[in-house]
Structure 1
Amino acid sequence: MSAPSNDTLLVIEGCAVATVDAAGTEYRVGHVVVRGNRIEAVGSGPAPETAGATRIDGRGCLLTPGLVNTHHHLYQWVTRGLAADATLFEWLTTLYPVWAGIDEDAVRVAATGGLASLARTGCTTTTDHHYVFPREGGDLLGAEIDAAAQVGLRFHPTRGSMDLGRSAGGLPPDSVVETLDDILKASADAVSRWHDESFDSMLRIGLAPCSPFSVTADLLRESALLARELGVRLHTHAAETVDEHEYCLSTHGCTPAEYLEQLGWVGSDVWWAHAIHLDDTAIATLAKTATGVAHCPTSNARIGAGIARIVDLHAAGVPIGLGVDGAASNESSSLIEEPRNALLFARQRNGPQALSVRTALELATLGGARVLGRHKEIGSIEPGKLADLALWNLGTLAHAGIEDPIAALILGSAPPLAALLVNGRIVVRNTVIQTIDEEAVGREVARAQAKLVAKAG
């Protein structure tokens, strides 16, 4: 989806505005002016008269930066609801044989459905961690990139990988692992083919070996070297479950955090998914190295993996974003639910003032942008930044009478979207996605799911 012309003007006014800038600026009634794909102005009261501008009446609404999703597995949209009561390792061993049958068609359909759901819940930028590459699957990364372009979200997919199959002591079946050489070549090719470093880039690639129990030390080490040579970011699962902790202790003689640090997997170009089971030393290491964390509270609870030490991580200065995680471990994949659940679980662990509603919103926006290295471009509403914006309708019965609009957004029911802008273009308007036919995509999802499960059975 190309950017609007620099002559295109859009004004949103009459709404509450939470800018999430460094000063925490908010307007009870304010406006934003968008020129092309950039924010031109933000302020209190009505917007100045602007000839030829498209105007959106935001009365009864709250305008926030678009939400940033820092961890996902889009292909799982067509395997939701399976192994619903399993532990992580049980869940994985149940689903790996199903995932071994994915192909371009299944991934394109799944990604379209997953991305559309994210858009309807306020997401303007999303990552994806795709690490299952069956030998006859086709161009799976390309399929989800096509889907993101169709839906219209800013996309940060990672070329994932696994090279430690069951026969070598890993968890995944041998049919879905690749050789080290093949992975490194495919990773370099993905960066060369798709990665765009421009300020208003809609597509950036990262490298993402899957997890300590599905990849070798050589793959982790070589992927880190390659990513830094190519100037792209690194992502992996880390410290997600007690099982993983025990696996690393027995296999490597150290914790997952210590293992990753030894292999070069810390730094401002790295972010870990989950990071639940961390000791004080590990948190200090993440803070010192500016290693980011994708906090996935809903998925963590769905799998029963534990409650991350998000308050301690935040206090230490660790960059933190939020993620819905794979759709098979978070069937709703609603990004607006994540700041609410992050707040609730933080308070359950650390008390009633552990995390404020405004900090929860910051984690979902600027925090995620910081984790992805894009905080100068997105994540707050400031002149010069990209126009990725979510306009939430709080004029509903569910939100009536909640005086603080940010409390209404974070603690209340997930509000409907009046509008979602990505790169200055309207992707959702009055809850309806403008870029795809949702009913048709739903039919395709059901078809692809039935086909995939039948293939595995």
Structure 2
Amino acid sequence: MIAASLGRMKRRGFFGQAPDPEPEAPAPAPNAKAVSTIAQPGGAETASNPASATPRRQGGSTPGLVSAHHRLYASLARGLPAPRVTPRTFSDLLKNVIWPIENALDSPMIEAAAQLSALEALEAGCTTVIDHHASPRAIEGSLTLIAKACTSVGVRVVCSYAASDLRSADNARLGLEESRRFIQSGGRGMIGIDSSATASPETIDLAIGMANELGVGIHAKVAEGIGDAGGGSDLVRRSKDSWVLAHGVHLPDGLEIAGTIAHCPRSNMDRGVGYGMPSRFGPRVALGTDGFGGDLLAEFRVAYGRLRERNVGTSPRLPWSWLEAGWLLVPEARQDRVHWSLADIEPEHLVSNTGIRPLTVIVAGRTVLENGRTTQIDAAEIRAKAAEQSRRLISRL
């Protein structure tokens, strides 16, 4: 079934765009409407070996890493004062920390957060982020702000607005329309659903219909908390090859999944939701950071540690394959190059070497990081701007 699914994704293009041949001319800008394709099963590439046709590790270099599930706005939320009520459960954390942050966001904050998050991703060798955004009081135009901010740094981004009925059904519709507007205006995106716990059945139906109409996938959180186990499973049963399904912690065994599970172990640990044992989902697993910066190698190490916690014989090549799965989602990232400070880029070396950093990063044919420094923007200026917007965010909470 997986092979057949991958074949359909190849023919259609992952985000609803028809496959293009390899470019002969200079590569396009990072967030141009270029296509994403999935490798044809039975050839050199497969779901379990997603990039064997492209050298994955050449000396001290790799392709650009991909964060399969990100929350770019989270970079402004560091160092926030403790909530008035100490969270005891995941539900408490949502109500007293996460949702208030999202409700406080405005356009200047969204832009500054996206730039800072893109910068930190680039500095960690991540050249592509698949973002799942939410700002209920600043929906219109938010995805365009995010895309422009990432492009200014030199990082690819796939945008979606996480539609939710938490505020109202009308607010959910605005979120869906923002994703539609962004995609129809030429942006690279998906239709976002926050989760089945926060989106009504009507909103979910509208989102799926819109995704089908536009020929793109759904990006949603599923079964992150135990309260979404039933609804998340129902949503997964409707999934298609082009969907990105974040977390899946409380999905039952044996559930047929058509999309890709985005495993975010650091976020799952921080929120106390448990461990999803993503290896049970087969090869359709990729790694995301869910707003914990853009360091995919850190995510890889934690994913490895959680696997070894249960089976000391687990090889680091399993969580490394989850990093490689990001190249199935956005194949252009395989053509990006990251030259690292470590000569031997092998999973066995990376699990215990925490000092590795990118020296040079090339995205879409452009050198966007050289000698560890950004070439398109002033990193200090971005950090100063983000610090100012973070103070504004804190003042609203």
When normalised by structure 1's length, the TM-score is: 0.70
**Alignment partner of 1:301 is 2:260:** no
Tell me: CA distance 1:292–1:408, structure 2 relative to 1, closer, same or farther (3 Å): same
**Alignment partner of 1:358 is 2:317:** yes
Equivalent position of 2:253 in the other structure: 280
- Residue pairs, 1:25-36, within 5 angstroms: none
Equivalent position of 1:73 in the other structure: 71
- Check whether the contact 1:394–1:405 (CA below 8 A) recurs between aligned residues: no
- Check whether the contact 2:233–2:251 (CA below 8 A) recurs between aligned residues: no
Equivalent position of 1:383 in the other structure: none
**Structure 2 counterpart of 1:79, one-letter code:** A
Structure 1 residue 440: Cα displacement = 1.4
**Alignment partner of 1:182 is 2:174:** yes
**Structure 1 counterpart of 2:71, one-letter code:** H
Q: Distance in 2 between matches of 1:206 and 1:235?
A: 6
Equivalent position of 2:52 in the other structure: 22
The equivalent position to 2:156 in structure 1, one of 154, 157, 161, is 154
Q: Distance in 2 between matches of 1:181 and 1:268?
A: 24
Residue by residue over 1:326-375, the C-alpha shift from the partner in whole angstroms, topping out at 9 and shown as x without a partner, is 2xxx3x442221111111111212x1223x2233223113x0132x2x34
Q: Distance in 1 between matches of 2:153 and 2:56?
A: 30
Equivalent position of 1:436 in the other structure: 377
**Structure 1 counterpart of 2:73, one-letter code:** Y
RMSD (Å), alpha carbons: 2.7
Q: Distance in 2 between matches of 1:280 and 1:211?
A: 20
Q: Distance in 2 between matches of 1:298 and 1:178?
A: 33
- Check whether the contact 1:132–1:162 (CA below 8 A) recurs between aligned residues: no
Unaligned stretches of 5+ in structure 2? 1-22, 28-48
Question: Of the two, which has the highest radius of gyration?
Answer: 1
The equivalent position to 1:348 in structure 2, one of 302, 309, 312, is 309
Tell me: CA distance 1:24–1:455, structure 2 relative to 1, closer, same or farther (3 Å): closer
**Structure 1 counterpart of 2:65, one-letter code:** L
**Structure 2 counterpart of 1:6, one-letter code:** A
Tell me: CA distance 1:143–1:219, structure 2 relative to 1, closer, same or farther (3 Å): same
The equivalent position to 2:201 in structure 1, one of 204, 209, 217, is 217
Q: Distance in 2 between matches of 1:404 and 1:97?
A: 41
- Check whether the contact 1:77–1:113 (CA below 8 A) recurs between aligned residues: yes
The equivalent position to 2:260 in structure 1, one of 292, 311, 324, is 292
Q: Distance in 1 between matches of 2:115 and 2:181?
A: 23
- Considering fraction of residues, name the structure with more strand: 1
Structure 1 residue 26: Cα displacement = 7.1
Equivalent position of 1:232 in the other structure: 216
- Check whether the contact 2:106–2:135 (CA below 8 A) recurs between aligned residues: no
When normalised by structure 2's length, the TM-score is: 0.80
The count of residues paired between Structure 1 and Structure 2 equals 350
Q: Distance in 2 between matches of 1:276 and 1:128?
A: 19
Structure 1 residue 180: Cα displacement = 4.9
Equivalent position of 1:43 in the other structure: none
- Check whether the contact 1:235–1:272 (CA below 8 A) recurs between aligned residues: yes
- Check whether the contact 1:131–1:209 (CA below 8 A) recurs between aligned residues: no
Equivalent position of 1:141 in the other structure: 143
**Structure 1 counterpart of 2:322, one-letter code:** L
Equivalent position of 2:326 in the other structure: 368
Q: Distance in 2 between matches of 1:5 and 1:280?
A: 45
How many percent identity over aligned positions? Answer: 26
Aligned-partner SS, 2:51: coil
Q: Distance in 2 between matches of 1:433 and 1:25?
A: 25
Equivalent position of 2:296 in the other structure: 335
Q: Distance in 2 between matches of 1:347 and 1:341?
A: 10
